[in-house]
Structure 1
């Protein structure tokens, strides 16, 4: 088909504009993915070799959708277009050019729970508290560029340099990498090697969700675009990944950093009803760091349905939400898979999940690393990892730290120092310690833990997969139920422990959006990015949770407040028809303290207040009502 068939207005401008570079500001539900696909179609129809086109998406699923849609349009050569995430591109570059091998690094990336042991092992005396070390590690992964004006690549202070040296030393000993290092190592390679073929491999580069890239990722894309046209698409109002130092200024000031930029916009919201577009515009107008623009209402979408509910307690909120959803599903006004419930905390999600289940509804939870959230699941996963890869030092580190409040940091650091001097692998050193051949002080607790792992190894080695899973993860342990279910799910497609481990790791580290047919989805606000639903409910709309942790008016706190406002903006613009905001006015003191809710009162039950964002929705928003009065 012709690239411009059935396309008009701003989308036609985006698909057909011949300029370079191009920045497209595209609001939620405005059809940016559609325009991006048609732009790729035009390039192919005009004779561009497909392997010369690079389309970078924020998720692997978005890349697959792009290719699938191009195939469905009958676009010749579209299967050869390089579509994927920036991380996957970096992984292929580093492995193809053997950069990691030459620099003594190993592409074994670490999961979130594994990174905690790296942070623990770094010196408290030198680098401060766990929180300080976590912050510095995020800066290290962002190539030390926190703000848009900072150049990525080099530590800012002598302490930063010392931290970087200690971190890389730990990673090299454990033969592993942080996920963010895929970016920083590729940036270093391309920056230091101007003759690298990757800097001239592509003639056209298109980048989706540009607002979610940090400065290091932006700098990497500029190097890849040395000899290519560059089109970036995104929305400063949907920049929600500040924790990795992705700032809205990246797309805001793109025309300043890229001379001759052609600015385009996609602002007609083709997803949300009129009522939601109006409050979304009012809400986001409170932010100061943004391009001044207005999402355009589309009358054909209808006015929609919008309610704000308040409940006496969290239990009442969970029960009420479940009853509202169940009633609408029974009335066939909505299907289960057309409902998304967004929450700021898992402690709010779990009662909602249970209440939905009590109403006979299936639920799909969506949170980061949910399968490995319990420490017992982390231990079982690490044991499988080590059985499949006996030389995996990260897995061994996790296992040796299990069931210890401090993770046996001193003992492990002592073991690591011994191994670095002698060249002995840590497993072998632990075997010699357990057998009394080697003696190191203060190793008793770790040696006892190692003997437990040795015993499990002896039990699990050499048995068939069905027996293995039954012994490895006892079904009656609730903390490992999700991992057990995942193991059973992948079992028919694997033939041995190695394949079992690889498949489970892939499902955990590179999760796809699972099929939600027949299930109500309950997830974090961040996880809703890129999703659409007929009915969206945002629970936990309480000050201190939405927004979270805003204590005073210093500039850093104001930046966090604006990011949380953008996150709330993303959440409410997922809906095609119905939006319901919900919050409880009373919490158990213990729950309020654990979740960070603002409250007053000294008893075991405390009083909260509604999120400030409810008021920021403006005069067109409905008044809040008692949730009990809304239940059918």
Structure 2
């Protein structure tokens, strides 16, 4: 089905960081509502879940001032929109998938299942990246996009493994949603909105961009900055979409904003970064009404001192009348985020950290080193004993190859007998596979997965009727074999809520918190990774850990690890990242760094090491400020 876009009024708003693109979208929504449009007919797409929170707060404030109600305006991410489309009963039948994305630890099992292809791990990972990027760019529109032989065979294996567990990998979601809508006119009508607005258009994938276009029936407005193309949530953001939008919508209105409304320090830093040869030149200048002031630089002798210095600065700002929610602390990694939150709370400043992308880690081959993931998988089984993805993972824990060969044989059996994974596991449990083949050893690993399935059924029965902490602790006890064991802290953090702690509710909650992380407090300092500043509008922005080794990374300074051509690409990427942060501070920009650390700690943190000296019998090394500090300080 070819969409008719001739009747859609299209608008593109482009401009540098801090130039008011998001404000323009907010004003347009308020104008629509003031003109009598129903709020339910308006869809706003933002690049990240946290950006959705920020947009909603700003929209509600503007709507209240304009005397309209924006409560029913849909503000969401393209990923969430794609999963909503794929949850249609017809979409499930069409795709053979459930609208369930793989979490990070579940992708480890998929990778093991892909290794049965015989490809070397490095080659396999590169091929998977090729498939994923191609999916986001709708390369499969061309029936000949894959080379016959190895490439086509591995792609088929990937699709078969995903079909076995009825699950979806993130780069595939937008692709499936677009292709489903293209082939089902009724689905387009069921999910369409009269007015669609997209913020940070350059930070979402091509599939997400096309999905947004399919949603609109009257107006489609996008806003973006091609110099701030940084991956923040969608895999493979598609900056070329800004220009392709104009090509696709003949006569579209094109609005260019050039005045940056960030504070003087942020505007100056962004302008200096735009002058970098690696950056694309755009119209950009500081607005006349910006807040004056220099960049504040906090220098601390040690990393632990830096956390305290940032906390004291934030506490002083709050005491001076700044709303904690108007303060954002950008951090280089999850360790920095957790320590920063501890320091802020110790200073009596409310703070929350945006969940790290993959906080559930561990070696799935060693049961003692993957307890959090194991407990979450068990919770999925208790919530839904027919969950094929959870069963696949459950049957792989503790095995060096995650029982990938056994699952490959089980998949072949399921395909041959037109059965699903759960049905095949039941057959493996009761020995039907051996009977069907006439040889107990023919289906390699059938006994292992059958025993795992039986153990899973016993766990489900043992946990029946339990909820909340009692359920999580029971699962931890059953998995570890230790009487009185308690669930790991990360599991409780992800699963428990103030209401409804049933197995099903907790399973849905932890997946949302893992795959769509957001800070739900409107009165706390937001501690977020560097790239997650995208879409936020802080009055005070504190960029912490601003040292070489964090940005740029340590490998950047070693030509043996990173060749010159890759160094240039790394520099360009980091310049975009710093630029995208710098212009976000509307009142004050703060740079925080530490100057020394022990040699041992520097090695663990992979810092770029300067001079090494002996201090009180301990080897200490100097840590240099980020190469980008000259543009900001």
> Which bin holds the TM-score, normalised by the shorter protein?
0.7 to 0.9
1:296 aligns with 2:266: no
1:581 aligns with 2:591: yes
Tell me: CA distance 1:591–1:240, structure 2 relative to 1, closer, same or farther (3 Å). farther
**Gaps spanning 5+ residues in structure 2: where?**
1-6, 363-369, 435-439, 478-482, 614-618
**Structure 1 residues 141-200: Cα deviation after superposition (integer angstroms, max 9, x where no partner):** 4444669xx796664544443333111101111111223333112322344567975499
Tell me: CA distance 1:75–1:455, structure 2 relative to 1, closer, same or farther (3 Å). same
1:178 aligns with 2:178: no
Quote how far apart the aligned CAs of 1:429 are.
5.4
1:233 aligns with 2:238: no
Question: Is the 1:190–1:199 Cα contact (8 Å) retained in structure 2?
Answer: no
Question: Is the 1:344–1:540 Cα contact (8 Å) retained in structure 2?
Answer: yes
Tell me: CA distance 1:316–1:465, structure 2 relative to 1, closer, same or farther (3 Å). closer
Question: Is the 1:151–1:215 Cα contact (8 Å) retained in structure 2?
Answer: no
1:407 aligns with 2:410: no
Which residue is 1:283 aligned to?
Answer: 273
Quote how far apart the aligned CAs of 1:85 are.
3.2
Instruction: Indicate which of 492, 497, 511 corresponds to 1:505.
Output: 511
Question: Is the 2:188–2:214 Cα contact (8 Å) retained in structure 1?
Answer: no
> How far apart, CA to CA, are the structure 1 residues paired with 2:415 and 2:8?
55
Tell me: CA distance 1:579–1:445, structure 2 relative to 1, closer, same or farther (3 Å). farther
Which residue is 1:85 aligned to?
Answer: 77
Question: Is the 1:145–1:245 Cα contact (8 Å) retained in structure 2?
Answer: yes
> How far apart, CA to CA, are the structure 2 residues paired with 1:427 and 1:444?
15
> How far apart, CA to CA, are the structure 1 residues paired with 2:551 and 2:486?
30
Question: Is the 1:57–1:85 Cα contact (8 Å) retained in structure 2?
Answer: yes
Instruction: Indicate which of 112, 119, 127 corresponds to 2:104.
Output: 112
Q: 1:33-44 counterparts in 2 under 5 A?
A: 33-43=22-32
Quote how far apart the aligned CAs of 1:330 are.
8.2
Tell me: CA distance 1:576–1:404, structure 2 relative to 1, closer, same or farther (3 Å). farther
> How far apart, CA to CA, are the structure 1 residues paired with 2:296 and 2:410?
59
Secondary structure in 1 matching 2:395? helix
**Structure 1 residues 287-337: Cα deviation after superposition (integer angstroms, max 9, x where no partner):** 54535221423445232x5233444433343344344445x2685465544
Instruction: Indicate which of 172, 189, 200 corresponds to 1:209.
Output: 200
> How far apart, CA to CA, are the structure 1 residues paired with 2:31 and 2:603?
55
Secondary structure in 2 matching 1:574? coil
Question: Is the 2:275–2:281 Cα contact (8 Å) retained in structure 1?
Answer: no
Secondary structure in 2 matching 1:123? helix
Which residue is 2:577 aligned to?
Answer: 567
Tell me: CA distance 1:250–1:288, structure 2 relative to 1, closer, same or farther (3 Å). farther
> How far apart, CA to CA, are the structure 2 residues paired with 1:584 and 1:590?
16
**Gaps spanning 5+ residues in structure 1: where?**
1-17, 622-632
Question: Is the 2:9–2:252 Cα contact (8 Å) retained in structure 1?
Answer: yes
**Structure 1 residues 16-44: Cα deviation after superposition (integer angstroms, max 9, x where no partner):** xx995322114334333332233234445
**Structure 1 residues 498-536: Cα deviation after superposition (integer angstroms, max 9, x where no partner):** 33433443444444431052x443321122222233432
Question: Is the 2:355–2:517 Cα contact (8 Å) retained in structure 1?
Answer: no
1:341 aligns with 2:329: yes
> How far apart, CA to CA, are the structure 1 residues paired with 2:599 and 2:447?
40
Question: Is the 1:211–1:238 Cα contact (8 Å) retained in structure 2?
Answer: yes
> How far apart, CA to CA, are the structure 2 residues paired with 1:405 and 1:584?
41
Instruction: Indicate which of 476, 488, 497 corresponds to 1:489.
Output: 497
Which residue is 1:533 aligned to?
Answer: 538
| TM-score for both structures, normalised by structure 1 | 0.79
Secondary structure in 2 matching 1:493? coil
1:471 aligns with 2:474: yes
Which residue is 1:376 aligned to?
Answer: 371
Quote how far apart the aligned CAs of 1:209 are.
1.5
Which residue is 2:263 aligned to?
Answer: 273
Quote how far apart the aligned CAs of 1:353 are.
3.8
Tell me: CA distance 1:576–1:66, structure 2 relative to 1, closer, same or farther (3 Å). closer
Instruction: Indicate which of 376, 383, 389 corresponds to 1:388.
Output: 383
Instruction: Indicate which of 458, 463, 475 corresponds to 1:460.
Output: 463
**Stretch moving more, 410-419 or 165-174:** 410-419
Secondary structure in 2 matching 1:576? coil
> How far apart, CA to CA, are the structure 2 residues paired with 1:334 and 1:210?
31
Which residue is 1:263 aligned to?
Answer: 254
Aligned length: 591
Quote how far apart the aligned CAs of 1:371 are.
5.5
Tell me: CA distance 1:160–1:188, structure 2 relative to 1, closer, same or farther (3 Å). farther
Secondary structure in 1 matching 2:287? coil
Q: 1:510-525 counterparts in 2 under 5 A?
A: 510-515=516-521, 517=523, 519-525=524-530
Which residue is 2:64 aligned to?
Answer: 72
> How far apart, CA to CA, are the structure 2 residues paired with 1:111 and 1:472?
19
1:250 aligns with 2:250: no
Quote how far apart the aligned CAs of 1:208 are.
1.8
Q: 1:9-88 counterparts in 2 under 5 A?
A: 20-43=9-32, 53-58=42-47, 59=49, 60-61=52-53, 64-65=56-57, 68=60, 72=64, 83-88=75-80
Question: Is the 2:374–2:394 Cα contact (8 Å) retained in structure 1?
Answer: yes
**Structure 1 residues 460-497: Cα deviation after superposition (integer angstroms, max 9, x where no partner):** 1234656434423579979821332454424x335x43
> How far apart, CA to CA, are the structure 1 residues paired with 2:376 and 2:75?
31
> How far apart, CA to CA, are the structure 2 residues paired with 1:218 and 1:574?
24
Secondary structure in 1 matching 2:13? strand
Question: Is the 2:202–2:238 Cα contact (8 Å) retained in structure 1?
Answer: yes
Which residue is 1:9 aligned to?
Answer: none
> How far apart, CA to CA, are the structure 1 residues paired with 2:135 and 2:565?
20
| TM-score for both structures, normalised by structure 2 | 0.79
1:420 aligns with 2:415: yes
Question: Is the 1:338–1:533 Cα contact (8 Å) retained in structure 2?
Answer: yes
Quote how far apart the aligned CAs of 1:338 are.
4.2
Tell me: CA distance 1:37–1:463, structure 2 relative to 1, closer, same or farther (3 Å). closer
Question: Is the 1:57–1:86 Cα contact (8 Å) retained in structure 2?
Answer: yes
